[in-house]
Structure 1
Amino acid sequence: MKKTFFVAMLFGVAVAGNKIGLQAQTRVADKPNILFILTDDQTFNTIHALGNKEIVTPNMDKLVKEGTTFTQAHIMGGLTGAICSPSRNMILTSRSLFRLHKAGAYIPASDTTFPELFRVNGYTTFETGKWHQDKASFKRSFSTAENIFFGGMYPPDAGGQYRPHLHHYDSSGQYDEPFWGDDFSSVYFADAAVDFLKSQQHQQQPFLMYVAFTSPHDPRTAPTWYGHNYHTDDISLPANYLPVHPFDNGELYIRDEMLLPVPRTKETVKREIAKYYAMISEVDYQIGRILNELKQTGRDKNTVIVFAGDNGLAVGQHGLLGKQNPYESAIRVPLVFAGPGIPKDKRVNAYVYLNDIYPTLCDMTQIPVPATVEGMSLKTAFDKGFFKGRDQVFFAYSNLQRAVVKEGFKLACYNVNGQHPIQLFDLNKDPWEMHNLANEQQYQNKVKSMTSLLSVSMKRLGDFCDLDKAGWGYPVKMTSMEVTNVLP
């Protein structure tokens, strides 16, 4: 007779000061496994099955065809140039932007991560890849791990992606014995994931895997052995290509924007896109290895798979390269759910945030949601009925940029050296954001209503900036230290 595992715990279990409700008799063995796959700097329109015919992504395509894709998944932004840190924090904790500590780099014990919650609820929790938060929260979250990268990116002068700085799992949480890899980073992360799946083949306890790749983040030096290479002759320039951004957005000279000289020529942008696509195809190959092993071990039939990108990237759009801007290329990301109970080849065009992943997984596994979670469950999108999603989405960057999107219109406002440019885009008619409507007479009422909506959203979310104050209350560009100390 198949052995059944039970977790018998009191309802008010305290985890690091945060109350997590648990049923007295939770039938753990019947719960689905969770495989969460995260890529680094992958924008929303870089999957072949979703319309990009120039990129090769057979395994992401498979997830799209086998699952439900949220085509309007957004991030909330960040307060420093490393947008991936707050984005990952929001995924892990489902907190909103202005409730993150140290600009997203720190997760206090009062904010329960979803791996931590699942661990308390009887799951084996495993991590490999990038962790852009503190080591204490990592220790709380995972019962095992391998090939862990603590940090933001691999510096080119230290070997880049070909010499990853990694750690083996350390139950003490100290992680003071790093090692240097001698192969491409994605290989290490996929190897660790495959080995973990093999170890779980005959286990009855459910698992949660958090696999966080560093591709396609620069340095973009993808290997060619995995089977595909790109040539600039096969790459199209984006419709909104510009050699120079039309005005100072406050971050024209941050590291991301220094990867190519200004003005950006058509040829250099096409080369950068080719390298970007190569990195995405490379990580797609490694994702395929993990999916194949999941099927080989027979655990695929009871595993919910979530695939997402942590933030987007301009790569030549609007004269920009990076992610420190409010354009769609920076704030929209891939988000796919696949597995038991999830419709196949379905598209959902409603607004959602990445921090909605956490409560969705709770809903799908019947695990009570902690009070600190601010996201909304997306589970009803997997039903036959209508899924409304969010009424609007909001974006912020430092004290320099704010934006709001509602009913297909986007308003972006800037606060740079006493200048306050405004952009209004009709995304339904102008998805490439090429026609600024903010100064056209027939759109002045829309500008006013969207500005009011943005101001209300800022106050509701606890924004430290205020549109009603001169210079938003912070007229001078804030330093990284000042932004980090907004909420220590």
Structure 2
Amino acid sequence: MKKAFFLFFAVVLFLGACKSRETKQQATSSKNTKPNVLFISVDDLNTWISPIDNFSNVKTPNFDRLAKMGVTFTNAHVQAPLCGPSRASLMTGLRPSTTGIYGMTPDNEIRRAGNPTTKEITFLPEYFAQNGYHTMGIGKLFHIHAPDSVFNESGGRVKGFGPYPKKRLVWDGFGTSKSKENKGKYGRTSTDWGAFPENDTLMPDHNSVNWVTERLQRNYEKPFFMGLGFLRVHVPLYVPQKWFDLYPLENIETPPYKSDDLNDIPPVGLQINDLPMMPSTEWAKESGEWKKIVQAYLACISYVDYELGRVLDALENSKYADNTVIVLWSDHGYRLGEKGTFAKHALWETATKAPLIFAGPNLPKGKKIDAPVEMLSIYPTLLELSSLPAYDRNEGVSLVNMMQNDAGIDNSYALTTFGMNNHAIKKDGFRYIQYEDGIEEFYDHSLDPNEWNNDADNPKYKTQIEKMKEFLPKVNSKWDASSNYTFQPYFVEQKKRVN
């Protein structure tokens, strides 16, 4: 009898404990049922990282770590191969051809009364705030940092892309634009390379990660949206010596290059690619600097990889580890000698393709998708992953069904725009480019992955080219009054001409 009583008492205690735990979990769940979002931007990062191209045996263990946590898109493309319009497109959810934001636009001028498409737009972080999220951001997220009051809590951004030595290490930033005939036509670039400063703690990105780490240790009444914008690998390609030491010069590969590659490029394409302030590939070869530039870029990638690892460690050691969606993206690719120069600024593959990785609850782990997709999809994808209502102004499509079920892979494409009415389409292993004067480029990547032979006039591809044209935008807005790109003479002239 006594034994039965103790058994009954133990069962009651056990059921009561279970009920208490269930009630506590329900309370916690009802308080914060939506996932947090960690939104990570890396400036000027091309696809050389190990989860995608693994170029020259690049060392990026933390990019690999993130890729194993989720889904890597190996064929993601930006909406503009230039940071300002690319980021404006991602944050508004609208194409450059819709907004007319083709150049650099001050953060506070992206949404303005004079632009009918953006005057009432809701930026990505704002949409989360309007739907019950606490929003935070630090570093380069929009072109500079962010428009005023976009984040509930802002860590700001260190001005420029320093730290800088007292004197440049190699490149003066002017190049051949110092010549009299080009005086005033071209600006000065931050392009330079070499080991500087002495240690990681002097890098602005290190302090940004410190800020994120500290906030991941806090308690929040709401789910959070946290943006982190890395400045590297943007030029100058300066990081401490230890990152250069990972890449001995004798082991460095250089990208594929053909000296007569531009012979079949249309005039507008050549004008866009006219960048004398940047080192040319021929100069880099003759001076012996090509491998050194590549080494510096790889060193910068590995430095960012280290800082990414610190972020992943902080998240893993926080209470938010199991309920946070991560997205990592870059604003465009970067050419390291391809097509004759060291720059973004083009509608070719190496300028438009950039990393895109998602990880989080309910997503596959270690999956790769090779279909072409757009950075424009980040906005609607994050909304769906966070169980938020779709925003009807978004021009991109959510990638959730593709990640979970491979849906839409066969029909996916990517559209990139550079200036008014200059577009590139990536679909089915082909790239089609149409410039404002109607002249075209076409590349079959199965036969010509380096885009060395313009097959726009090849009758073999006539049907395919007509199919690609269907994806060109129907709207090509004039330049927004606040958007400019004075760095490149072609865009200065185009804005004057079309407006």
Cα displacement string for residues 399-443 of structure 1 (whole angstroms, at most 9, x for unaligned residues): 58432223222122446xx8x764321112322223332344433
Cα displacement string for residues 69-102 of structure 1 (whole angstroms, at most 9, x for unaligned residues): 1122111226xxxx11111112212111123365
Where 2:140 maps in the other structure, the secondary structure is strand
- 2:136 is aligned to 126
Is residue 351–residue 390 contact of structure 1 (8 Å, CA) maintained in 2? no
Q: Is 2:317 the partner of 1:317?
A: no
Q: Is 2:278 the partner of 1:258?
A: yes
- 2:91 is aligned to 92
Residue in structure 1 matching 2:476, options 444, 451, 462: 462
Is residue 373–residue 412 contact of structure 2 (8 Å, CA) maintained in 1? no
Deviation at 1:287, TM superposition (A): 0.8
- Distance in structure 2 (CA, Å) of the matches to 1:150 and 1:87: 20
Q: Is 2:423 the partner of 1:402?
A: yes
- Distance in structure 2 (CA, Å) of the matches to 1:90 and 1:262: 34
Q: Is 2:227 the partner of 1:217?
A: no
Change in Cα spacing, 1:38 to 1:157, as seen in structure 2 (3 Å) is: same
- 1:145 is aligned to 154
**AA in 2 matched with 1:286:** E
**AA in 2 matched with 1:129:** G
Deviation at 1:147, TM superposition (A): 4.3
Is residue 228–residue 281 contact of structure 1 (8 Å, CA) maintained in 2? no
Cα displacement string for residues 334-354 of structure 1 (whole angstroms, at most 9, x for unaligned residues): 001112111011111222111
Deviation at 1:445, TM superposition (A): 4.6
Greater alpha carbon shift after TM alignment, 335-344 vs 223-232: 223-232
Is residue 37–residue 308 contact of structure 1 (8 Å, CA) maintained in 2? yes
* Equivalent runs, 1:396-435 vs 2, <5 Å: 396-399=417-420, 401-414=422-435, 422-435=440-453
- Distance in structure 2 (CA, Å) of the matches to 1:101 and 1:422: 22
- 1:77 is aligned to 80
Is residue 87–residue 310 contact of structure 1 (8 Å, CA) maintained in 2? yes
Change in Cα spacing, 1:484 to 1:42, as seen in structure 2 (3 Å) is: farther
TM-score normalised by L of structure 1: 0.77
- Distance in structure 2 (CA, Å) of the matches to 1:275 and 1:43: 14
* Equivalent runs, 1:100-115 vs 2, <5 Å: 100=99, 102-103=101-102, 105=105, 106-108=109-111, 110-115=120-125
Deviation at 1:397, TM superposition (A): 1.6
Greater alpha carbon shift after TM alignment, 233-242 vs 435-444: 435-444
Deviation at 1:58, TM superposition (A): 0.7
**AA in 1 matched with 2:349:** E
Deviation at 1:377, TM superposition (A): 0.7
Structure 1 gap segments, 5+ residues each: 7-25, 162-180, 466-475
Greater alpha carbon shift after TM alignment, 102-111 vs 425-434: 102-111
- 1:59 is aligned to 62
Change in Cα spacing, 1:259 to 1:443, as seen in structure 2 (3 Å) is: same
**AA in 1 matched with 2:455:** L
Where 1:258 maps in the other structure, the secondary structure is coil
- 2:253 is aligned to 236
Where 1:350 maps in the other structure, the secondary structure is coil
Structure number with greater CO (CA < 8 Å, separation at least 6) is: 2
Change in Cα spacing, 1:5 to 1:121, as seen in structure 2 (3 Å) is: farther
Where 2:55 maps in the other structure, the secondary structure is coil
- Distance in structure 2 (CA, Å) of the matches to 1:442 and 1:427: 14
Is residue 102–residue 484 contact of structure 1 (8 Å, CA) maintained in 2? no
Where 2:139 maps in the other structure, the secondary structure is strand
- Distance in structure 2 (CA, Å) of the matches to 1:271 and 1:241: 19
Cα displacement string for residues 226-249 of structure 1 (whole angstroms, at most 9, x for unaligned residues): 695322211112223548744562
Residue in structure 1 matching 2:215, options 196, 202, 208: 196
- Distance in structure 2 (CA, Å) of the matches to 1:45 and 1:440: 31
Is residue 28–residue 122 contact of structure 1 (8 Å, CA) maintained in 2? no
Change in Cα spacing, 1:236 to 1:262, as seen in structure 2 (3 Å) is: closer
Deviation at 1:273, TM superposition (A): 1.0
Where 1:70 maps in the other structure, the secondary structure is strand
Is residue 43–residue 233 contact of structure 2 (8 Å, CA) maintained in 1? yes
Is residue 71–residue 348 contact of structure 1 (8 Å, CA) maintained in 2? yes
Is residue 242–residue 316 contact of structure 1 (8 Å, CA) maintained in 2? no
- Distance in structure 1 (CA, Å) of the matches to 2:498 and 2:27: 45
Change in Cα spacing, 1:484 to 1:62, as seen in structure 2 (3 Å) is: farther
Change in Cα spacing, 1:440 to 1:462, as seen in structure 2 (3 Å) is: closer
Is residue 240–residue 433 contact of structure 1 (8 Å, CA) maintained in 2? no
Is residue 260–residue 268 contact of structure 1 (8 Å, CA) maintained in 2? no
- Distance in structure 2 (CA, Å) of the matches to 1:483 and 1:242: 33
Structure with higher helix content: 2
Is residue 131–residue 149 contact of structure 1 (8 Å, CA) maintained in 2? no
Is residue 311–residue 330 contact of structure 1 (8 Å, CA) maintained in 2? yes
- 1:186 is aligned to 205
Is residue 93–residue 396 contact of structure 2 (8 Å, CA) maintained in 1? yes
Residue in structure 2 matching 1:38, options 23, 37, 41: 41
Where 2:322 maps in the other structure, the secondary structure is helix
Deviation at 1:191, TM superposition (A): 1.4
Deviation at 1:302, TM superposition (A): 0.7
Is residue 399–residue 477 contact of structure 1 (8 Å, CA) maintained in 2? no
> Alpha carbon RMSD of aligned pairs, Å?
3.4
Q: How many residues align?
A: 422
Is residue 100–residue 478 contact of structure 2 (8 Å, CA) maintained in 1? no
**AA in 1 matched with 2:96:** L
**AA in 1 matched with 2:205:** S
- 1:472 is aligned to none
Cα displacement string for residues 431-462 of structure 1 (whole angstroms, at most 9, x for unaligned residues): 22233323444334544x25xx43x5445243
Is residue 139–residue 231 contact of structure 2 (8 Å, CA) maintained in 1? yes
Residue in structure 1 matching 2:304, options 276, 283, 302: 283
- 2:318 is aligned to 297
Is residue 47–residue 57 contact of structure 1 (8 Å, CA) maintained in 2? yes
* Equivalent runs, 1:377-388 vs 2, <5 Å: 377-388=398-409
Is residue 162–residue 203 contact of structure 2 (8 Å, CA) maintained in 1? no
